[in-house]
Each structure stands twice: as structure tokens, then as C-alpha cells.
Structure 1
Amino acid sequence: MVAFYFNGPDVSVTKVVTDLIDIYAVDNSMDQTVNISSNHTSPLSRFEEKESVELDDEDVMTVVVPRPASQPRFIQHKKEAFWFYRFLSIVYDHVINPGHWTEDMRDEALEPADLDDRDAVVVDVGGGTGFTTLGIVKNVDAKNVTILDQSPHQLAKAKEKEGLKECRIIEGDAEDLPFETDYADRYVSAGSIEYWPDPQRGIKEAYRVLKKGGKACLIGPVYPTFWLSRFFADVWMLFPTEEEYIDWFEKAGFKDVQIKRIGPKWYRGVRRHGLIMGCSVTGVKTDSGDSPLQLGPKVEDVEKPVNPFLFLVRFLLGATAGIYYVLVPVYMWLKDQIVPKGQPI
């Protein structure tokens, strides 16, 4: 692999990177069979300062755009996310999933989790309406599966699903899980990390609750390269880079960290707009006990009173930005219908 790193605010370099994004925006590397191992990827130590242009083993150029270290991300807060899903839960399974999280994508994303033991103890963190859990219980007895989410409105939808009647369904915080250390054989979390104020803490918790030899499977968004999509992603919620996922897992203590890229079939491999469900990250816990990583106090105190006016502004701005990502899959579907098969879109 060859990588070129551009440091500093040089305008000419910025233009070069922008031009490369325009030229190589169609990234065919979203093939659902492609895995990126931590053994072959060096996480960037300072994502806010570096941009890279990489040539993979098939000489396909990919522009890696750094995600700002600090930005608004108005819905990346527990209270905002709570109310966001208070309303979104009404249409989530019928409007959001068809455009971002199909059954085919779910099954592809869960495949690296090795859910092949009916007696395995599984926790689905941020399980929401139970859509991902329905994929889990295909191979694991429902009575061994716990669905956890902070939204009672989402969990109410999960309780209505016949296939999840035997699952344990509880409210809880992904950054402070109500499970004992070395509890589960598998940890699954899909479409949840984007709302975590402190993703490293959530992944540290994933490590803690797993038994020795257990595996974590975290499914989430990937950061866009197209400038307009980056803007709305940064306003709405957390869209990590692939390097950040690997870095968070390795710092928590996971070994054999791998990323599998996923996406709707009608995107034809396009990743420039980012994907709300864009990758499946897995890691293995090789030792018993808690994570070796030490963290300070929580980033966000949910008990602290929030200014109602500021909360409303944040919520409305974040929700408005989210509408963009409801429209993107529709736009890509229309292009898929119009552009002849075999040609990039």
C-alpha cells in the first residue's frame, strides 16, 4: 500500500485533495466481501491534521478525509437522541431501514460476529426496534439474547415483534452497561455508536462485558468524502472514519480487529456520501476481566439540567440535518434506475 499524507493548511494541497475526491469519488471498495484488518491498517494518530490518498492492492485510489476533532453534531447527545427517537420510532422500521439497513445488509454485517451457537449469550446494545436482533435470533436462542436501548419508544416496538418475545428487553446506557464483567459470548451494536457522546467508553464497555474469547461486532456509519455530505454529517451525528473504529477497538484491548464494508446494493459501491450503516467492525477479547484502558469522568452528565431553548435549537438543527440522509438513498436509488448497469454512479 502506498500512502501520501498532507499536513497543514496548504491551499494548493487542499485543492489537490478536493480534485482527487471529485475524480475518485466512486469507490468500488464497498464490496461486501472486503475485509480490512488492523494488521494492515495504521490508525491515524491525529485525525484532525492528516489527509491521505491510498492505493489498495487492486490499485483503486481511495481518498481518506479526516473527520474534525470537534464539531457540533447536535444529535450526538443522550437527551437529544432520546427525543429524536421518540418520534422516529413511529416510522423507523418502515421508512429508515429500507433505505439504510436492509435485511441483506444486516445478515452480511452480522456474519463476522460468528453467531453460530444456539446457546451463546448475546447482548444487543442500542437494539432499538429489534431489527438487528431478528437477525441474531436466527442462529441464537432468543432466551439467551438481551436487547438494551435508552429509548423506551424504540423498545416498545421490539416488544411487539413475535420473534423477540423470549428476549430480555431492558433500558440502559451503552456507556455504562448493567451487566457483570465477563458476562456475554457476543456483543452486538448496530446503528447506535453515532449517538454516543464518548464512543471510546462504549467500546471499552463492550470489552468488559465479554467473556474471554468473546467477540464484539459493532455496525455503524462511515465518514463521507463529498463536501456537502460531510457538512450534514458533522451537524447531525457522529460519522467515524474506519481508522477511528480500529483505533477505538485496539485501545480498548481487542485483538484481531477487522472491518467489513457494507452498503445498500443500489449504491453500486459508492461511499462518497457516507453511509449510516457503512461498516461492521469486529474484535476478539483474549483475556478475562476489564479493559486495560483507563478513562476519566463521562463526557456527558445526563443528570445535569439542560437549557430548554438551547436543547430545542440543537434538536431542530440536528433533526433537519438528518433529513438530508433520508433523501440520499432515494437519490442514489434513482441514479441506479437511470444509469445503465455496469457504469459508475
Structure 2
Amino acid sequence: MASEPRYNPRKSVTDPSEMAVSFGFSTVNEGQKQGLVDDVFHKVASRYDLMNDLMSGGMHRLWKDAMVSSLNPPKSNSRPMHHLDVAGGTGDIATRVVERSQRTAQSTVCDINGSMLAVGKDRAAKAGLGGHIEFVQGNAEDLPFPDSSFDVYTIAFGIRNVPKIAKALSEAHRVLKRGGRFMCLEFSQVDVPALDKVYDTFSFKIIPPMGKMVTGDPDPYQYLVESIRKFPNQERFKQMIEDAGFNRVSYRNYTGGIAALHSGWKY
């Protein structure tokens, strides 16, 4: 993979179909991307939080806390919230939701990667949350759940790794109950002058070498910083969520647009 950015930082992919054959800045054959992405996360599973610390300068923890605060899980035993977290194998979002609900919520973590799920199961058991969080291996594009199963669907820093994003959004709509909420936290397009240049330099010049120093392999980190630049920007992704059938779609930028939280409702 190239070590220099080959993109215009003021633009992002406008045709979502490109994401299915885009592995970072490389173009791959239809059907190849999922296996390549799986390999990336097999390599970084045990260091997933460290990976996000490197990618965000540690800010991902604050963004995730803000996401769960925006969700505001109910603290009710009479009608516990059923929560689905997709591509959240290590269970960090599910853990936050369950604990914020005072352990009344029931969370299901669905991830295509078995290595990530293994890390999540171990963490949940050590935290005494085994009875509150279920771990299921499955594909975001074809979720193994019945229609109208969940009150909330969350996905954090995972949807840009899904080859067919529109299909994943359609599946999110399908498994939510009427009145259910969709929430997606993802790296996005910086909208603050000068910050974009600083962020680009940090991403391409610092993150891959740091990843090599910490893990011995810079390639997963090179892919991840490239995948951020290929992901649709805030407005384009908002339109994709609306196209999937969601209403009242909105987004909130964090840290100048380095990350964005998109939210929508199923009516």
C-alpha cells in the first residue's frame, strides 16, 4: 500500500457502490473486500482499543461515551431495552449501554470476526456482564435476527468496513422495532480549516509507523487511515440512511468532524 495520500481531503466517495471494491486506496475485485477486512481485524483484535487510541489520539473513548449519553438507555426493569451493537466484537459499546442502564438493558453484539468476539466474550465475563451481553457471529449485510427484534441498533467505527453499506443499513432498518433508533459513530470528514491538514499529516505520517512500532505490522493501520478518506462524508451518509427508510436523520460532529454521530428513527 502507498504511504502517501492520493485523494482530495475536501471530497469523499459519492457513489456508495465504490465501497464494495475499495480496500483503502486500492481497488479489489467484487467479493474480495470482506476477507481482506477480516484479516485486518484478526491481526488487531487483541489490541483493538489501542488501535482506536492511535487512530483518534484517545478521543474515541470520549466519543463513545457521548454516543451512549445521547442514547440515554432507560433504567427500567419493567421494559428492558433490547440493544444490538453491530461490528462491536470487543463489547465496548455494549458494556457502556448495559452499565449506563444500571444493568437493565440486554445487549447483543454481532460481529463477523470471531477473533474480535473472543476478546469481547472474555472481557464481558471478567466484568460480570455475561448475563447481560450476548455475542453472535454474523454479517452486517445479512443479520441473523428476525424482523423487528431490537429497540436500538448501534455501530461504532465499523460501517466503513462493510462492503455493501446500503445493504447493512437496510438490515438495520429491518431488525429494528417501530419507533426504534439507529445510531452510527464513524470517522468522518474534517470541516475545520487547518485541522484537516494536521489530521492528514498525523494519519499518514504518524499512525502507520506507530502501528508498526506497537504491533510489528503497519499495514492494518495504513488500510484504516485510507478507509476513512474513502467513506462518504456526513451529508452523503445522511442521505444513505434516509434512503434506507429512516426518518428524522441527523448528525453531530465531534472534534471538528474527525468523527460524526448519525442518528435516525424507524417509524
Equivalent-residue separation in structure 2 for 1:68 and 1:112 (angstroms): 28
Find the counterpart in structure 2 of residue 145 from structure 1. 107
Give per-residue Cα distances to partners, 1:88-143, cap 9 Å, x unaligned.
11211234336525332211122332322441000010112112222111234377
Correspondent of 2:37 among 65, 81, 84: 81
Correspondent of 2:53 among 89, 97, 116: 97
Report the count of equivalent residues.
Answer: 214
Equivalent-residue separation in structure 2 for 1:65 and 1:233 (angstroms): 17
Correspondent of 2:263 among 277, 282, 294: 282
Find the counterpart in structure 2 of residue 157 from structure 1. 119
Counterpart code for 2:234:
E
Find the counterpart in structure 1 of residue 28 from structure 2. none
Distance 1:233 1:159, change over 3 A: closer
Counterpart code for 2:63:
M
Q: Does 1:247 align with 2:193?
A: no
Distance 1:92 1:128, change over 3 A: same
Tell me the secondary structure at the aligned position of residue 99 of structure 2.
coil
Note the residue ranges of structure 2 that are not aligned, 5 or more in a row: 1-7, 25-31, 191-195, 205-221
Calculate percent identity across the aligned residue pairs.
Answer: 23
Tell me the secondary structure at the aligned position of residue 138 of structure 1.
helix
Give per-residue Cα distances to partners, 1:3-32, cap 9 Å, x unaligned.
xxxxxxxxxxxxxxx9xx8xxxxxxxxxxx
Equivalent-residue separation in structure 2 for 1:178 and 1:283 (angstroms): 22
Residues 110 and 136, structure 2, Cα contact 8 Å, conserved in 1: yes
Q: Does 1:67 align with 2:13?
A: yes
Tell me the secondary structure at the aligned position of residue 165 of structure 1.
coil
Find the counterpart in structure 2 of residue 179 from structure 1. 145
Structure holding more helix per residue: 2
Tell me the secondary structure at the aligned position of residue 137 of structure 1.
helix
Tell me the secondary structure at the aligned position of residue 133 of structure 1.
helix
Distance 1:143 1:117, change over 3 A: closer
Distance 1:157 1:142, change over 3 A: farther
- Equivalent runs, 1:188-227 vs 2, <5 Å: 188-223=154-189, 226=197
- With the length of structure 1 as denominator, give the TM-score of the two structures: 0.56
Equivalent-residue separation in structure 1 for 2:67 and 2:134 (angstroms): 23
Counterpart code for 1:77:
K
Find the counterpart in structure 1 of residue 251 from structure 2. 259
Correspondent of 1:109 among 62, 67, 78: 67
What is the CA-CA distance between 1:244 and the residue it aligns to?
1.7
Equivalent-residue separation in structure 2 for 1:257 and 1:173 (angstroms): 24
Counterpart code for 2:23:
F
Counterpart code for 1:240:
P
Equivalent-residue separation in structure 2 for 1:208 and 1:90 (angstroms): 32
Distance 1:91 1:232, change over 3 A: closer
Tell me the secondary structure at the aligned position of residue 261 of structure 1.
strand
Residues 261 and 280, structure 1, Cα contact 8 Å, conserved in 2: yes
Tell me the secondary structure at the aligned position of residue 64 of structure 2.
helix
Distance 1:201 1:95, change over 3 A: closer
Residues 23 and 223, structure 2, Cα contact 8 Å, conserved in 1: no
Higher Rg of the two aligned structures? 1
- With the length of structure 2 as denominator, give the TM-score of the two structures: 0.70
Aligned-pair Cα RMSD in Å: 2.8
What is the CA-CA distance between 1:262 and the residue it aligns to?
1.8
Tell me the secondary structure at the aligned position of residue 67 of structure 1.
coil
Give per-residue Cα distances to partners, 1:207-257, cap 9 Å, x unaligned.
111111110111112135657769977844642200122111111111111
Equivalent-residue separation in structure 2 for 1:178 and 1:139 (angstroms): 26
Note the residue ranges of structure 1 that are not aligned, 5 or more in a row: 1-17, 22-63, 264-268, 287-345
Distance 1:261 1:84, change over 3 A: same
What is the CA-CA distance between 1:200 and the residue it aligns to?
1.1
